[in-house]
Amino acid sequence: MPALTPPRALSRALPHTSEPHRRSAWRHAALAWMLSCLGTSAWAQSSPAGEWQTIDDHSGKAVSHVVVKEVGGVLQGSITRILDPQKATLKCEACEGPLHDAPVLGLAIIQGVGTQPTEPQTWEGGRILDPKSGRNYRVRLRLKDDGQTMEVRGYIGSPYFGRTQTWHRVPAS
């Protein structure tokens, strides 16, 4: 295997070191860079932040995409895509107050979820809106399958009284 030579900038930064020491410093810098990249991608998969495909409870078919992101120190999720073109102009007819007749596309359905896990891979403390019924529920988000699926549990009072949907992470394009 040919010897690796350090970049010129590193050679200039370490002018008083011998060639083996410069090579070692270059390897350490490359290893640190690779580890920082791995750490960033692992964090992205261990957070609910990202784009998710929602699945209909009854048909089992993909319905929409929701993007979850940190806004003002809490997690918020909005519908960014409706997969059935005939339903793209739906309005939240059952919603009350300022959300009544608001377009479902762009609707913030997850609000106020804490950014720190309450248990391993679990985030709680906010609300989720069901655009079909117009009802708000407490919410718990739990990552599964190495962050590729997320159990979204909407409930009243206790998590024992609710329902769970499984959302699938949309691969980054």
DSSP class per residue in 51-118: EEEEE-TTT--EEEEEEEEEETTEEEEEEEEESSGGGTT-B-TT--GGGTT-BSTT-EEEEEEESS-S
Question: What is residue 37's predicted lDDT score, i.e. its pLDDT?
Answer: 39
What mean pLDDT is reported for the chain? Answer: 82
Question: What is residue 20's predicted lDDT score, i.e. its pLDDT?
Answer: 55
Mean pLDDT of 164-168: 96
Question: What is residue 69's predicted lDDT score, i.e. its pLDDT?
Answer: 96
Question: What is residue 23's predicted lDDT score, i.e. its pLDDT?
Answer: 54
The number of C-alpha atoms within 13 Å of 108 and in the hemisphere containing its C-beta is 13
Question: What is residue 57's predicted lDDT score, i.e. its pLDDT?
Answer: 84
- pLDDT tens per residue, range 4-16: 554 554 445 445 5
Question: What is residue 17's predicted lDDT score, i.e. its pLDDT?
Answer: 54
**What is the pTM for the complete model shown?**
0.72
| Helices H / strands E in the chain, number of each | 2, 8
- pLDDT tens per residue, range 105-140: 999 999 999 989 889 999 999 999 999 999 999 999
What percent of the chain stands above pLDDT 70?
74
- pLDDT tens per residue, range 54-83: 999 889 999 999 999 999 999 999 999 999
**3-state SS assignment for residue 46:** coil
Token representation of residue 99: 């959300």
List the one residue out of 76, 97, 79 whose CA is nearest residue 89: 79
- Residue 23: CB atoms within 10 A of its CB come to 16
Distances (CA, A) of 21 to 9, 10, 94: 15, 11, 69
